[in-house]
Amino acid sequence: MIKLLKNLFKSNKGSFKNKKNFSELLSSKEIQKLFNSFNSYSDKVELRLIGGCVRKLLIDEKVDDIDLSINLKPEDVIKILKSNNINFHETGFDHGTITAIINNTSFEITSLRQDVKTDGRHAKVEYTENWLEDASRRDFTINSIYSDIDGNLFDPFNGKQDLQNGLIKFIGDPAKRIKEDYLRILRYIRFFLGYSKNKHDKNVVKVIKQNLIGLKQISKNRQLQELKKIVSTKNFNKINSDKTSKEIFLLIFPELKYINRLERLDNLKNDILEKKSFEFVLSLLLIDESEDCDYFIYKYNLSKKEKDKIILLRSVFSEVPNKDYFSRENLLRTLYKNGKENLIDILDYKILTTKKNTKNFVDLKKYFIEFEIPVLPIKAKDLIEKFDLKEGKLLGLILREIEEKWLNNNFNISKNQIEDIVKSKHI
């Protein structure tokens, strides 16, 4: 049986057209160690690359994570990892996934399986040795391509050809695939924006709209993670010219109604946008005078970093009528209090949301990129030594007043001014 399966694996759909990226990936010490560990265990063991990493290798995209499939049960995977002193996490043991860690690089290894029962969120699985059964449970043809260490492909649903032709096709019945995991609606949008060269299949769109309600079963965290992937798609801007994708996207994320801000951007703005974080782009889509920001932050339980960035940029939005906000003097204060990264984000936000001439903000950005953040010329220990002060509330109050005076005077303060502040507080 195993021999038959090997022949099936290696008989189907050729290999990589361009093996450069493939060979570079497979030449890494980490991957070599992983494959050698399993291949030396038994000649019946087959470990294969699967999904996103194969898809990206086929079109010369950067591979940022590596998923693998294997014809062993998870407990056997663990046994082999232990015997080769490879660290691991039982990240999804119940669903057959073990994460191997070699030199801080993670590899998700999932046992061949079939879904025997699904509820739109989770699946009850049974393990198999049949590669076709494993492939059949996957979402899209472009994600059901396996590769061995020699670059031989097993592609039972012609995913390589669909990828080349820009076709985003569900495996089998779209309605069945979606009802197995409603998150596949968002994955469809991501892959369509990223790879499609064709119009939407009307039947697929119909099925998606009929099943949108199912996303309520999906945790907000899983939806947020998929949103991050959509936003980071290099062709995300395409959504403004793709009426169907945009409609579905806004039905799922109605708070992100300012997606038109990413429409018809010039080269300068596109270059800025490509380098920005998820939370920055999210701010562009979200911020207005309404309470949608607060609601979205709460609804999707954003991280402190994400929340802080949105709140910072929202403060810029509220200050738009105030021309003094963007004076060099005020921006120097912002630089000092919020750091250079945040100040550059503020200016980039202004550049991206300004329809008229942005030259002034571009010039300000150039100036502050090269500007060194000033350091307050006096510290708490200096005040203690010179003025015989003690640690406590009074010392903090004096230091804050000195800092404020220094800021208001364009980062300048004299010894006499410091002494006057100390005397006025230290009675």
Contact 400, 389 (CB under 8 A): no
Residue with tokens 């250079």: 340
Longest CA pairwise span in the chain (Å): 92
Q: What is the pTM of this model?
A: 0.86
Six token digits for residue 251 = 């039905």
The identity of residue 24, as a single letter, is: E
Q: Is the pLDDT of residue 426 over 70?
A: no
Higher pLDDT, 2 or 279: 279
Owner of token pair 């690359």: 49
Count of other CB atoms within 10 angstroms of residue 189 = 25
**Residues 244/189, Cβ–Cβ less than 8 Å:** no
pLDDT tens across 12-57, in order? Answer: 555 665 566 777 777 789 999 999 999 988 888 999 999 999 999 9
> 57-88 pLDDT, tens per residue?
999 888 888 999 999 999 999 999 999 999 99
- The 10s digit of each residue's pLDDT in 355-387 is 888 999 999 999 999 998 889 999 999 888 888
pLDDT range class, residue 193, cuts 50, 70, 90? very high
Beta strands at 105-111 and 97-102: parallel, antiparallel or unpaired: antiparallel
Q: Where are the domains of the chain?
A: 1-165, 171-253, 262-373, 380-425
The C-alpha atoms of residue 215 and residue 218 are separated, in whole angstroms, by: 5
What gap in Å lies between CA 147 and CA 151, rounded to an integer?
6
Would you call 46 helix, strand, or coil by DSSP?
coil
Burial of 289 (0-12, 13-18, 19+ CB in 10 A): exposed
For 184, the 3-state DSSP assignment is helix
pLDDT band at 97 (very low <50, low <70, confident <90, very high): very high
* CATH placement of domain 1-165: 3.30.460.10
Residue 263 in this model has a pLDDT that exceeds 70: yes
CATH 1.10.10 at 262-373, yes or no: no
Element (H, E) at 111: strand 105-111
For residue range 109-135, list pLDDT tens digits in order: 999 998 766 665 666 778 999 999 999
- What is the pLDDT at residue 427? 54
Provide the sign of the torsion angle of the four alpha carbons 184, 185, 190, 195, taken in this order. Answer: positive
CATH of 171-253 given 1.10.110, 1.10.3470, 1.10.287, 1.10.10: 1.10.110
Computed over its alpha carbons, how large is the radius of gyration of the chain? 28
Neighbours of 228 (CB within 10 A): 15
